[in-house]
Structure 1
């Protein structure tokens, strides 16, 4: 009996570090934030409102623009910080930043919320919940205390 073994081309499942997973989740969130703001411009009368100096209920001022930039700067920086920070600080930075961002995402649904905005907010909240979950379950190493 002739038994032949053939090599199969199984796919290698490469283990991705937790830090990289968190950074990619923050990157995905940033893409959605940017695209939702962009698609907002296609809604009727939004460009006219912007040209009149208004967004939702707010006047477009230097302070408004600084506040808006500050709100998106933090998740944008989390892309880098998720990779660069040491584990203990990283874990809490991700949990706190993601949790604080959820109300801001939901606030964007105030007023006139079209289905694309609701869908985007749901996906963004899911991404933030994944960030919280991954950071909360950060792997730990066992350390053995030795007594002399």
Structure 2
């Protein structure tokens, strides 16, 4: 029994693409939970029932825009694994920059829970950018 307690666990390195995919999954969960908890703000549900959307009046086009905005991080979890390296690298950098900027402009005046999620989302985007920027090159 004592021999098992002193054994060192193996910790193989994770491939870069797996790390990027996991970061996009984490970002997606933060978006989903942030939006979910936002429904608890007083008056939010009534505001929605009155026809307000996340970016002005609810319409097919505004909801399509929001749907596309939220589906991309989920798709990047797969695309980070599946796309050719050059395309995956630049998509990771470009989209993470876009999402970090988008989150930053939505922060002013937000409730504390949203600020916490937004801060975490920006850190996740920064990690995506950093990892993708440092994508290993062939010798």
What is the TM-score normalised by the length of structure 1?
0.87
Runs of 4+ in 1 over 4 A off after TM superposition: none
| Secondary structure of the structure 1 residue equivalent to 2:8 | coil
Quote the Cα distance in structure 2 between the aligned partners of 1:137 and 1:122.
23
Larger-Rg structure: 1
Structure that is richer in helix per residue: 2
In 2: Cα distance, 1:70 partner to 1:57 partner = 13
Corresponding residue to 1:86 among 84, 87, 90 = 84
SS at match of 1:28: helix
How far the C-alpha of 1:107 sits from its partner, in A, is: 3.0
TM-score by length of 2: 0.92
Tell me the distance in 1 between the aligned counterparts of 2:103 and 2:71: 14
Q: CA RMSD in A?
A: 1.5
Give the Cα–Cα distance (whole angstroms) in 2 for the partners of residues 89 and 51 of structure 1.
Answer: 41
Show CA shifts across 1:96-144 (max 9, x none).
Answer: 110111122123324x4111100100000000000000000011121xx
Greater CA deviation, 85-94 or 32-41?
Answer: 85-94
Question: For structure 2, which runs of at least 5 residues remain unmatched after alignment?
Answer: none
Question: Relative to structure 1, is the Cα distance of residues 92 and 51 closer, same or farther in structure 2, using a 3 angstrom cutoff?
Answer: same
Query: Matched residue pairs, number?
Result: 136
Structural mapping, 1:1-148, within 5 Å: 8-55=6-53, 58-110=56-108, 112-142=109-139
Gap runs ≥5 in structure 1: 1-5, 143-148
In 1, the alpha carbon distance for the partners of 2:93 and 2:54 equals: 29
